[in-house]
Amino acid sequence: MQALFRLASIGVTLAFGALAPVAAAELVGHGGAVRSLSASRDGGLLLSGSFDTSLILWRPAEERPLRRLLGHAGAVHAVALAPETQLALSGGEDGLLLAWSVEEGAPRWRAELGAKVLALAIAPEGGSAAVGTADGRVRVFGLADGTVRAETDLGGARPTALLFAEQGTVLWVGTHEGALWAIDPRDGTGSERLPTSGFAVTELLELADGLLVTGGIDGVLRLRHPADLRLLGELPGHEAPITALALHPDGTRLASGDIKGRVIVWSLPERRPERVLEPHRGPVWDLAFTGPPATLWSAGNDSIVRRWREGDPPPRPAESSPASPPAARRSPIAESEDRGERLFRACVACHTVTADGGNRAGPTLFRLFGRPAGAVPGYPYSEALATSGIVWTEETIEKLFALGPETFTPGSKMPLQRLPDARDRAALIDYLKRVTMPAEVERGTGG
Ligand code: HEC
């Protein structure tokens, strides 16, 4: 059984490897991970925002950059193109919200928000925009002049996903703590409608028929009724936190991406995967559709925006989707150890564990225990972590994931969920001890 699965997934890798040249259209221009994408309603423009602090406006049909927008002093976390007006918005690590004239490529107005921007959304009629910041606030701005029209304090919860729904009359907010809020964008009044689950809500989307789709760090897409949020279905297929969601222009398909690099294109009428792509090594940070012809763009750590168009590589039959069999593993390994390994899948996009693994977006965790924070030579740590004085032990790693990096190491560049369950933390630490400490590494994996 396991061999069969293996074979299936190797087949997939090869198939896409071989087909890569066909789907090779790439937008190259950023100098760091691309974190956010937004397409204009007519599909003629694509906007990308990057860790390299810049934005690039692209003409996707011609696969060329139109202009680069410079104005942020830190990574750009979220971008949005207004549907009709010639305006683009960007929010960054630097706590700055910038509204750009697409025509001139210059900021039209700016707002200092005092905390980093986590999420952005523009209302469908294009008159206003919502911004969520790490201090637990959601503000609604007038797009034309940047006046604040409404403000909501989420009482400490962090807004990680925003969505204008029902023709812009409702603003949905998904939080890092796993709650859903409904806010009236006219006055900022609202309340928590779905209580905290512990699984951060990372993505929100409204389908053509009005249903809400949520994506979270538990890797499951959920369909909910907008009136009472009752669960109408789940789309399982990701095995890692969902990091991106985009609706196909014809409304019948949905694309979702995860932190391990899998993109699934779903057929909505049938609620099943239609196509699975692996566009980047590592996380898929965002997805956007342009067209016609309908074209999917993906962004990841490799700083390239890649194109996936219908008729590029032939779709893979959904039946052979590489559902890896977590149950069919070596049985002598204790359940907690298995769990640790599974939990560490949320880390592999950014961390290696071996001496020669090197640094990814995060430093190698080789010989982590007993190591002072910020000690890997040559890795560009944040000032906050480098000067924290923390030494990594079972105890401090436990705290890191009990409280979350943003609380335990404020200012750290590591974006991650908490692990609310103490057993999960113990299992993860157990796994880290086995794989990052030299004696174990030599014995266990042999390189
Ligand atoms: C999206 C990328 C990303 C993911 C996913 C991620 N990390 Fe990190 N991690 C980072 C970055 C970036 C840093 C450096 C932070 C800084 O400089 O402030 C870091 C730092 C760390 C450190 C401190 C290392 C040191 O040398 O001081 C530990 C420990 C750590 N991560 C563990 C984990 C574990 C365990 C997971 C999974 C549960 C994880 N990380 C997931 C990006 C990530």
Instruction: Read off the pLDDT of residues 284-335 as tens digits, 9 standing for 90 and up.
Output: 999 999 988 889 999 998 888 999 876 654 333 222 233 333 333 333 344 5
Is residue 394 pLDDT above 50, yes or no? yes
Q: Quote the percentage of the chain above a pLDDT of 90.
A: 53
Specify the pLDDT at position 279: 81
Between 123-132, 233-242, 334-343, 369-378, the lowest mean confidence (pLDDT) is in: 334-343
Specify the pLDDT at position 10: 26
Q: Does 283 or 413 have the greater pLDDT score?
A: 283
Domain with CATH 1.10.760.10 in the chain: 329-444
Which residues have C-beta atoms less than 6 Å from ligand 1?
A: 346-347, 349-351, 361-363, 365, 368, 373-376, 381-382, 384-385, 392, 397, 412-416
Residue of the CA atom closest to atom 36 of ligand 1: 347
Specify the pLDDT at position 282: 87
Q: For residue 445, name the pLDDT band (cuts at 50, 70, 90).
A: very low
Between 101-105, 119-123, 253-257, 395-399, the lowest mean confidence (pLDDT) is in: 101-105
Residue of the CA atom closest to atom 5 of ligand 1: 347
Specify the pLDDT at position 357: 77
Is residue 49 pLDDT above 80, yes or no? yes
Question: How much is the average pLDDT of 426-435?
Answer: 93
Is residue 378 pLDDT above 60, yes or no? yes
Q: Report how far residue 430's alpha carbon sits from residue 428's, in angstroms, rounded to the nearest whole number.
A: 5
Between 29-33, 60-64, 210-214, 441-445, the lowest mean confidence (pLDDT) is in: 441-445
Q: For residue 408, name the pLDDT band (cuts at 50, 70, 90).
A: confident
Q: Does 32 or 366 have the greater pLDDT score?
A: 366
Q: Report how far residue 331's alpha carbon sits from residue 76's, in angstroms, rounded to the nearest whole number.
A: 44
Measured from the CA of 401, which atom of ligand 1 is nearest?
Answer: 38
Question: How much is the average pLDDT of 79-94?
Answer: 91
Is residue 198 pLDDT above 70, yes or no? yes
Specify the pLDDT at position 416: 55
Q: Report how far residue 133's alpha carbon sits from residue 438's, in angstroms, rounded to the nearest whole number.
A: 41
Distance 21 CA to ligand 1 centre (A): 33
Q: What is the CATH number of domain 2-320?
A: 2.130.10.10
Question: How much is the average pLDDT of 410-427?
Answer: 77
Distance 415 CA to ligand 1 centre (A): 8
Is residue 217 pLDDT above 60, yes or no? yes
Residue of the CA atom closest to atom 38 of ligand 1: 347
Q: Does 162 or 410 have the greater pLDDT score?
A: 162
Residue with tokens 């692209």: 58
Distance 195 CA to ligand 1 centre (A): 28
Residue of the CA atom closest to atom 30 of ligand 1: 365
Is residue 443 pLDDT above 70, yes or no? no
Sort 361 into a burial class: Cβ within 10 Å, 0-12 / 13-18 / 19+.
middle
Between 19-23, 27-31, 108-112, 354-358, the lowest mean confidence (pLDDT) is in: 19-23
Is residue 447 pLDDT above 60, yes or no? no
Measured CA to CA in angstroms, residue 204 lies from 37, 85, 211, 237, 245 at distances of: 15, 23, 11, 17, 8
Measured from the CA of 372, which atom of ligand 1 is nearest?
Answer: 27
C-alpha dihedral over 434, 439, 442, 445, to 10 degrees?
A: -10
Do 358 and 364 meet the contact criterion of CB atoms below 8 Å apart? yes
Max mean pLDDT among 29-33, 307-311, 425-429 falls in 425-429
Distance 217 CA to ligand 1 centre (A): 16
Is residue 271 pLDDT above 70, yes or no? yes
**Global pTM?**
0.62
Distance 414 CA to ligand 1 centre (A): 5
Do 355 and 348 meet the contact criterion of CB atoms below 8 Å apart? no
Measured from the CA of 432, which atom of ligand 1 is nearest?
Answer: 35
Q: What is the CATH number of domain 329-444?
A: 1.10.760.10
Domain with CATH 2.130.10.10 in the chain: 2-320
Residue of the CA atom closest to atom 2 of ligand 1: 350
Measured from the CA of 283, which atom of ligand 1 is nearest?
Answer: 1
Distance 235 CA to ligand 1 centre (A): 29
- Which of 351, 379, 431, 433 should be mutated for ligand 1, with most atoms under 8 A from CB? 351
- Which of 242, 285, 301, 350 should be mutated for ligand 1, with most atoms under 8 A from CB? 350
Distance 416 CA to ligand 1 centre (A): 8
Q: Quote the percentage of the chain above a pLDDT of 70.
A: 84
